[in-house]
Amino acid sequence: MPKTIIYHIDVNSAFLSWQACHTLSIDENATDLRSIPAVIGGSQKERHGIVLAKSIPAKAYQIHTGEPLVSARKKCPSLTVVPPDFSIYVEYSKAFIELLKKHSPVVEQYSIDEAFCDMTGMEILHGSPVDFANTLREEIRDTLGFTVNIGVSTNKLLAKMASDFTKPDKVHTLFPEEIEKKLWPLPIEDLFYVGKSTSKKLRLLGIKTIGELAHTDPAVLKSHFKKHGEVIYNYANGIDNGVLTDHAEPNKGYGNSITTHYDITERDAALKIILSLCETVGARLRADGVYISVVSVTLVDCEFHHISRQTTLSSTTNVTERIYETAVSLFDEAWHKMPLRLLGVSTSHASPDKYEQYNLFDLEKYEKLSNLNTAIDSIRSRYGEDSVKRACFINSETGHMAGGLQKAKRNSR
């Protein structure tokens, strides 16, 4: 049986690279954003003023992904800031995945700019896995115009860890026999699935490197971290039993949230936003042919206090109006008149199975609404999601289908 070979391919500074490629495709004499201190950043006015991607020259100023634009500009006053355009990124992502599918029978897209490829047994076609990884890296650069890192190993975890080694435009290996030399000396924070909270607790236990974690008694880790302790112990030892698949796992939950560009102080304004979130959630549920039985609402006030409420429905549903009615009830229970900066609606326990415990009047009401929702979905699918909207959203600053993915991202699914 051939040795399992997995690639993890990660686009270097994806949004900035794709923005640069797009700009140069329009004007070959334009400045390449990758060659100057530049970032892709959201709108400060709308409270999305963070760095989404950075160039290598920007990194030299200690600018980090996720930091506020205000902070980044203080570090580099001449910083070029370009707003994101997800319609561009979606197109480049599609081209990226299509190129990978030419060379691998199984391509699992991990995110918009990352993918795993199963290259097991492909030596007959491509030769040495490491040599072909370099060939693939060069093909992506020469054909699509942007660079990638490729990690090569025997499982998804080690391949992903390898692709995070030195960047950009590199191929790295992390085979099981290389773990002691390449993985174990790294700081604990570099291990996949170890976040800030976990790393802080590990350091309090005297565990500072991945190697030290790998040699810690699993029982000790489980006593402090429960199931998560077992997971990170396995990861530190390069153990990952995840199977690579070319189809997405079914959603168990569907949700959307939106950060407002002004403080919400009026109930009517909040409910309109909640309705717009429910519109998008309901449409996604119906598109996937599933029903949910749990609805949750999340609020974040102007001082960043989080409040969440959820309830279990007596019957499953994918009707926008029923999700909205439930969300309004939860909102009224949770909101104490504090100014809000974020509202979220989420649903869970999604299943293709439907069960009903309505009374006679509710049954008739929700059957009619379900038929109406389906008809509206059909019209929006054919003529665009803005072809039908509720009257309350006409001439309104609130988008009628808000939250989560921007329209360009939603339409790419």
Query: Could you give the residue numbers annotated as active site?
Result: 114
Q: Are 169 and 137 in contact (CB under 8 A)?
A: yes
Asked if residue 250 has a cis previous peptide bond (ω within 30° of 0), the answer is no
Mention every residue, 6+ apart, whose C-beta is less than 8 A from residue 289: 352
User: Can you tell me the distance from the alpha carbon of 21 to that of 33, in angstroms, rounded to the nearest whole number?
Assistant: 9
- Written as one string, the DSSP assignment of 204-268 is HTT--BHHHHHTS-HHHHHHHHTHHHHHHHHHHTT---PPP-SSPPPPSEEEEEEEEEEEE--HH
Distances (CA, A) of 340 to 68, 267, 393: 20, 10, 20
Nearest to 157 by CA among 229, 244, 238, 246: 238
Q: What angle do CA 285, 290, 296 make, to 5 degrees?
A: 60
Q: Are 146 and 18 in contact (CB under 8 A)?
A: yes
Q: What is the dihedral of CA 183, 186, 187, 192, to 10 degrees?
A: -40
**278, amino acid identity:** C
Residues 6+ apart with CB under 8 A from 340: 260, 263, 264, 265, 270, 299, 300, 301, 302
CB contact at 8 A, 400 and 279: yes
**Strand (E) or helix (H) holding 150:** strand 148-153
**Residue 280: Cβ within 10 Å count:** 25
Terminal alpha carbon distance of the chain = 36
Q: If residue 82 lies in a helix (H) or strand (E), which one and from where to where?
A: strand 80-82
Rounded-to-integer distance, Cα 21 and Cα 297, Å: 40
How far is residue 165's CA from residue 136's CA, in Å, rounded to a whole number?
A: 18
CA–CA separation, 226 vs 239, rounded Å? 18
